[in-house]
Structure 1
């Protein structure tokens, strides 16, 4: 009887630890998605998403609108757009993003388009290398809410805050 109580408590504790281990990352992602940091930075980075023959898709357009709002608030003087194109595309996510921003009033000289990166990791390496070359360390990364934590972690791993 006494041994059964100890085993039951031990199993309950192990189950609790497993639940915490599984839910902790979910909590971090949720927190990052719902608590954006408003601060000044060296650049705004817009991660790529689908573009349709030079026109940003819905997801990319939402990111660009957010980047423009941040730029208009004066939180960063430069915008970097990243993202390559799919086979057969006439343009890249980075180029269509740059064109959209220019057509919505952001000065051409304030935008760099890096047409590299078919995924978040490749895009992150691309923009962090560019930032390091220009001696910039601080970025506001614009992406989807539930993608923020992952994107910020990748940039932090490359030395970008």
Structure 2
């Protein structure tokens, strides 16, 4: 009987810890998802996401739209379109960003392509090499759920970026946030424990 009770207690503690941890992650995500990007940044880095053939997914389209709106209001800002070509994608994510921005009247001369990255770490690392030498103020564009991790990874790589949050479509909320909790946990392990 004592063993059974201690087993239930252990499970209860584990569940409570899990809920507190998820609550903490959600708090951090919420903090960053309400960021306001500074005006007149020298550059934007738009992080790629899934492309269905040549069409950006809903969440990805939201990032591109947020970037386009910013670029229309801040005429001297250049943009680094970041993302390689994954399975089921007929073009790179960077090319998809470029095409959609051009459709929204953003000049090609303002767009730099980074089309080799396969994850957020590489998005930041490869894009960093393309930032003009005289550029100082940068902004990373991604969905609300992803801003906290993207900014944290950038800081870890020596880039002091602000975030420009793009809306997360309701259809993608559950899946995106669940995956993000795991991705942030992996980032914490990699940064604070395994390093």
The bucket for the TM-score relative to the shorter chain is 0.7 to 0.9
TM-score normalized with structure 1 length: 0.78
Q: Is 2:61 aligned against 1:61? A: yes
Could you say if the C-alpha distance between residues 127 and 141 of structure 1 is closer, same or farther in structure 2, counting changes exceeding 3 Å? Answer: same
1:66-91 CA deviation, whole Å, 9 max, x = no partner? 00111111175101111111146431
TM-fit CA distance, 1:38: 2.8
Cα deviation code 1:79-110 (max 9, x no counterpart): 11111111464310001110111121000100
Partner deviation per Cα, 1:11-40 (whole Å, 9 max, x = no partner): xxxxxxx69x7344432221111x222313
Alignment TM-score, normalising by the size of structure 2: 0.66
2:147 alignment partner in structure 1: 148
Does the aligned pair in 2 maintain the 1:137–1:160 contact within 8 Å? no
Alignment partners' CA distance in 2, 1:87 and 1:130 = 25
Equivalent pair of 1:137/1:159 in contact (CA under 8 Å): no
CA distance in 2, matches of 1:158, 1:78: 21
Aligned length: 144
Question: For residues 50 and 60 of structure 1, what CA distance do their matches in structure 2 show?
Answer: 7
Q: What value does the CA root-mean-square deviation take over the aligned residues?
A: 2.5
How far apart, in 2, do the equivalents of 1:68 and 1:103 lie? 10
Larger deviation, residues 60-69 vs 83-92: 83-92
Unaligned ranges ≥5, structure 1: 1-17
User: What is the rounded CA distance, in whole Å, between the counterparts of 1:75 and 1:39 in structure 2?
Assistant: 14
Bigger Cα Rg: 1
8 Å CA contact 2:53–2:88 kept in 1: the answer is no
Give runs of aligned pairs for residues 115-126 of structure 1, distance below 5 A: 115-126=115-126
Q: Give the structure 2 partner of residue 103 of structure 1.
A: 103
